[in-house]
Structure formats: structure tokens, C-alpha cells
Structure 1
Amino acid sequence: MLFVLVSEAEAEPWGRWICDRAWNFDTERVHGQGAYVAIARQLCRIAGRSDALADLRDHVDTGSGEAWIEYSIGGRRRRWSVEVRDDWADLMVVGYLMDDLEHDGERFYVRRNGQAMTLFFLDDARAGRLNTLVGDRLVAPFLVQ
């Protein structure tokens, strides 16, 4: 049931999500330029803050091992160096993005699933109810492991 909630609708029009507060994040999805922008946009979507990150851009060169993401949020400019490890996302940088997007008592919760993770953006009460349903496998705050 949770997998359906975090999925994109598989029919036209494309780009529709079953639940706007959840996403199945495949951490082995960095295939070049634009990968971190796509991750950041998904995090913004589930945080309900589609316009939170201004001037969002990234650079990913897996051949040279050089990568970064930069954006502005709340009048602050951020630039994070990204560790390149083949096509795996740098979860430390993903955590920085999450920290910047948390607001109004809501935050990111994660349920790990091998190389993927199911992300939810909830307040503590809703997270507690969901955690009861999934057998105490929901974790917050998001922790890099």
C-alpha cells in the first residue's frame, strides 16, 4: 500500500503523483547533469514548497568526479559540493536539502528499502500514526547511514 502512495500515476497525463507528501527515492539515480536538480524538485514537491529553492542548478560530471548543487532559500545562497560515487546520490547533500525545506513543525521521515527509501513529509502526530501501521520502521529525522 505504501508503495502505491509514493508512486507516479502510470497513465496520461504523466507527472501526477498519488500522494503529494511522499516519494520513493531511488538513491542510485545520479546519471549526470540535472540529477540533483530533479532530486531537489521532488523534495520541494513533497514538502509542499515547490518554489522554495530559487536559482536552482547543479553540475554533475561523473567522469571527473566533480559535482555540486546550488540554490537560494530564504535569502541565503547555498552551494554544496557533492561526493561522486558512480551513480549513487550523496545522502549528506540530500540531508542538507531536507534541512532547508523543513518548516512549520513538519519534517522528512524515511522508511528504508534497500537502495531506495520512501520519504514522507509529515508532522510528528501523523508520522506516529503511520509508523504504527508500518511496524515502527519510519525514522526521523532523516539520518545518513
Structure 2
Amino acid sequence: MKQHMVIDSPYGPLTLVARDAVLCGLYMVGQRHRPPEESFGEPDDTPFGETVDQLQAYFAGELKDFDLPLHLDGTSFQRTVWEQLQKIPYGETRSYGELADALGNPKASRAVGLANGKNPLGIIVPCHRVVGSDGSLTGYGGGLERKRRLLDFERGTALF
């Protein structure tokens, strides 16, 4: 059974989706690879209390690491990439190539990028922390402006 709710954030409305009361999606308005609304299930805020609390603490600058049960639905390779994303420290970045190296497959940077782009739990699984090999901001499902703002926020250089 799926449920969803929408919360406000400094980065626009976020749609939270849970399957069997476990968080499985966090989607931004206009996000690339955003599933259709009808796949989000019934509107119900019941399973999202801790998620909302942790997101509010993150946006307030009080939380650096999320500690939530997650249901990451993807291929084995995608889930492995998403697990690597969760190891990137708050305020830091890694390149697609560095992630591919960490997976033991240095030639897989393009595949890492594709998996990164399909991350169903943006912000919580911090795909915004992945940059090009030269440190440039490249591809982000939520848009490059949001990516820049998230990185600036985490580095303490945000101008709100």
C-alpha cells in the first residue's frame, strides 16, 4: 500500500511517498524521472512523521545525516550506487568517476551517472553531492539551480 504527502521546503514543494509505511520516494516539482502522480498512492501523512522531522532539522542546518528506514526500489547496480551516495559526507562532493572507482569499476562513470539520475530519494540519498570530474555542476534531476543551492547550503555559503 502506498501513501504520499507534500511538504514545503526551501527548494519548493517535496512529495514524500511511502510503501508499507517505509519511505520510498522524495520528489521535487519538475524533477526529471518523477513518476506519475497516480503512482504515489493515497494522500495520508501518517507514515511521514520522522521523515518530516528529519527534513526540517536538515533544512534548519541541525541534521547532517539522515537516519530513516528506506525502501530503494531499483536494479542491483542502482541500489549499489545509491548506497555509495549515502557515504558522501555532508558538505562534500564526489565525481562520477570517484564513485565508479569506489564501486571497483573505474570505467562505469557514465552508468553511475544514469543510476544517480534515477535516485528516487533526492536530498535524503544525496545525489546532489555528485559533480563532474572538474568539479563542475552537471546533471541533476531537480535542476542545476537547486543542486547549486543545496551544495551552497551544505557548505554554509547559501545566500537566501
Give the number of the structure whose residues are more often helix, by fraction. Answer: 2
Q: Give TM-score, length-normalised by structure 2.
A: 0.27
Give the number of the structure whose residues are more often strand, by fraction. Answer: 1
